[in-house]
Amino acid sequence: MYRGLITTAVLVAGIAGASAATLDTIKQRGTLVCGVSTGFAGFSAPDSQGNFKGLDVDYCRALAAGVLGDASKVRYVALTAQNRFTALQSGEIDVLYRNSTQTYLRGTTLGLRQGPVNFYDGQGFVVKKDLGVKELKDLKGATVCVAQGTTHEVTLGDYGRANGIDWKPLVFDRPDTMYQTFFGGRCDAMTQDASALAGAVATAAPKAEDYVVLPQTISKEPLGPFTRNGDEVWSDIITWLHYGLVEAEELGVTQANVDEMTKSQVPAIQRLLGASGDLGSRLGLDNKWLVAAIKAGGNYGEIFERNVGKASPLKLERGLNGTWSKGGLMYAIPFK
């Protein structure tokens, strides 16, 4: 029994050492290395000055603020669908925030851990209005632009076979090349996450009013971050960052009022913002790490609205991405 206790202690020590590796590396480096897309409007795309903006980018900034105390201490690595997971597996990046769909096989075969879903989406189609397409069966024989190495490529084939639609995929390794080809008229339709299609029409179409995103979706696309297996503490930080941003929205904590809210006598707010409970120290962070994260870009609702919601060019409804109290799926695990 004594030997068993020693064995258990050694295993726990080994796991703790592995878990702390990424966090320690980031603190020593002084910079978070965040994997993002090469350009999805509303999620991660460089502006005219080359600065990345979007929902995924705001998560990177919030993470850097919480871990390093400075939202600007992020180096963004733009990744394609083909190299995103390899970059994380190899240690080139610390975390992948690249509107990546979470699936069974990705969760069990890549040696990676899937974080909480930060955007619920579905695979849709965009066509030119004058094509006269009203529903997916009208696309029989159509050429469809699709990105290589994505769930969209697989689902497109599955749906076509299951429904007798013999569309002709035209596959691209980069979304920007795919957009240029579709809006140049080479494809009859383009398929991607519905949110990404809305962003493409808003930012890349010659005339946005000439295109329509069809109302049908053919899949569930739960998007969220990925970390490496074995980095339990780091993965927990990624998890609780998301829940913290959602909890902040639920409790009315915003980018503008977060400092004032640290004086609140509401127990749930006190725990969230580090006034009680010592919750940050359990992750190797300052107890007020979520104060810094929220100050970087606001709560989940603020991040959503600014990047993809009504205040953005995409003008998406909250829908499934609303909080649970308003009919959505966003639900924070309690901070206690």
Q: What are phi and psi of 43, to 5 degrees?
A: -115, -55
pLDDT in tens, 76-85: 999 998 899 9
pLDDT category of residue 4 using cuts at 50, 70 and 90? very low
Mean predicted confidence (pLDDT) in 109-134: 96
Best CATH choice for the domain 16-120+222-326 from the list 3.90.1150.10, 3.40.50.620, 3.40.190.10, 3.30.9.10: 3.40.190.10
- pLDDT at position 99: 86
Residue 17 has pLDDT above 70, yes or no: no
CA contacts within 13 A on the Cβ side of 313:
17
| Residue 181 to residue 190: CA distance in whole angstroms | 10
pLDDT category of residue 1 using cuts at 50, 70 and 90? very low
Residue 16 has pLDDT above 60, yes or no: no
> 10 Å Cβ neighbour count for 102?
18
pLDDT in tens, 213-229: 999 999 999 999 999 99
pLDDT in tens, 315-336: 999 999 999 999 999 999 999 9
**CA 251 centroid distance within chain:** 22
Q: What are phi and psi of 288, to 5 degrees?
A: -100, 25
80 token code pair: 């394609």
pLDDT winner (highest mean) among 7-11, 77-81, 260-264: 260-264
Under 8 Å between Cβ of 151 and 103:
yes
- β-strand 143-147 against 168-172: which pairing, if any? parallel
pLDDT in tens, 270-319: 999 999 999 999 999 999 999 999 999 999 999 999 999 999 999 999 99
> What is the amino acid identity at position 222?
P
Mean predicted confidence (pLDDT) in 58-84: 96
Mean predicted confidence (pLDDT) in 105-130: 96
7 DSSP 8-state letter? H
Q: Which residue has the higher pLDDT, 28 or 9?
A: 28
pLDDT in tens, 133-172: 999 999 999 999 999 988 999 999 999 999 999 999 999 9
**CA 306 centroid distance within chain:** 15
- pLDDT at position 8: 36
| Residue 307 to residue 44: CA distance in whole angstroms | 9
- pLDDT at position 108: 96
- pLDDT at position 20: 60
Q: For the chain, give the number of residues.
A: 336
Q: Which residues of 4-30 are buried (b: 16+ CB within 10 A; e: fewer)?
A: eeeeeeeeeeeeeebbbebbeebeeee
Under 8 Å between Cβ of 93 and 234:
no
pLDDT category of residue 176 using cuts at 50, 70 and 90? confident
Shortest CA distance to 35 belongs to which of 86, 96, 80, 90? 96
- pLDDT at position 125: 97
The secondary element (H helix, E strand) that includes residue 225 is strand 221-228
The secondary element (H helix, E strand) that includes residue 110 is none
pTM of the prediction? Answer: 0.88
Listed in order, the ranges of the chain carrying CATH 3.40.190.10 are: 16-120+222-326, 123-219
| Residue 213 to residue 278: CA distance in whole angstroms | 47
CATH number for region 123-219 = 3.40.190.10
- pLDDT at position 152: 94
31 token code pair: 């910079």
Residue 267 has pLDDT above 70, yes or no: yes
- pLDDT at position 87: 97
| Residue 286 to residue 296: CA distance in whole angstroms | 16
